[in-house]
Amino acid sequence: MTKFLIMFCMVIASAMMLISLSSVADETDVAGKPEKVSVEEKEYVPKSEAELKKILTPLQFNVTQKEATERAFQNTYWDNKRKGTYRCIVCDRELFSSDTKYKSGTGWPSFYKPIKKENVGFKSDRYLIYTRTEVHCSRCNAHLGHVFDDGPKPTGKRYCMNSAALKFVESVQSNSSNSAKAKDK
């Protein structure tokens, strides 16, 4: 009987995990339109651990390669309000847009949706006594953060990311509007 209960619990837990992972992102872009296939990204050649240690800061390396977490409210992008794109610090893949960033109050940059669902991957992450869903770059497998089911509409998701795993590229339009504002002052 005990073996049966253990097997039953494992099957239920696996089914629940699959259901939660399948609901992480939908097939539409931010405006609710079907996503368009973009031009191909340049090929990524994986780097060795030694190469990564040369190009990343110790914090970036620990976050992306060792699944560490940076401190809340003491990171680069938690309060960034500029328009642009957040890319993977390791392979430069586009991950999130400032259009989907919102103030979550957690002290980390939070988004309700990735630019493309296929640009991020997911896996279960057991932390203390509960299971979370880890988010990683689908191209280089860099750890980015976690996704939770307490975000805003339209997805209800909170992609809670580590700034150390991201590189922000400000949009040209944002740069020109900031220049115009500076000239007005």
CATH number at residue 151: 2.170.150.20
Segments forming the whole domain that contains residue 76: 57-171
* β partners of residue 120: 137
Work out the average pLDDT over 158-168: 98
- Please state the pTM of the whole predicted model: 0.72
Residue 108 lies in a domain: yes
pLDDT at 174: 54
User: How many distinct structural domains can be found in the chain?
Assistant: 1
Cα separation, 131 vs 108, in Å, equals 20
Residue 2 in any domain: the answer is: no
**C-alpha distances in Å from residue 150, one per residue of 2, 31, 111, 128:** 35, 21, 11, 20
pLDDT in tens, 44-54: 899 999 999 99
The pair of structure tokens assigned to 179 is 């220049």
End-to-end Cα separation, the chain, in angstroms: 76
> Does 120 fall in a domain?
yes
Average pLDDT over the chain, rounded to whole?
Answer: 80
45 vs 26, higher pLDDT: 45
Q: Is pLDDT of 14 > 60?
A: no
Is residue 5 assigned to a domain? Answer: no
Residue with the larger pLDDT of the pair 50 and 173: 50
**What is the C-alpha to C-alpha distance for residues 61 and 6, in angstroms, rounded to an integer?**
38
The C-alpha atoms of residue 77 and residue 106 are separated, in whole angstroms, by 12
Using a 10 angstrom Cβ sphere, with 0-12 exposed, 13-18 middle and 19 or more buried, the burial of residue 29 is middle
Give the active site residue among 88, 137, 140, 160: 160
Q: Is 160 annotated in the active site?
A: yes
Q: For 107-143, what is each residue's pLDDT tens digit? A: 999 999 999 999 999 999 887 788 899 999 999 999 9
Instruction: Confirm whether 11 is domain-assigned.
Output: no
CA distance 97 to 116: 10
Q: What is the pLDDT of residue 158?
A: 98
The amino acid at 56? L
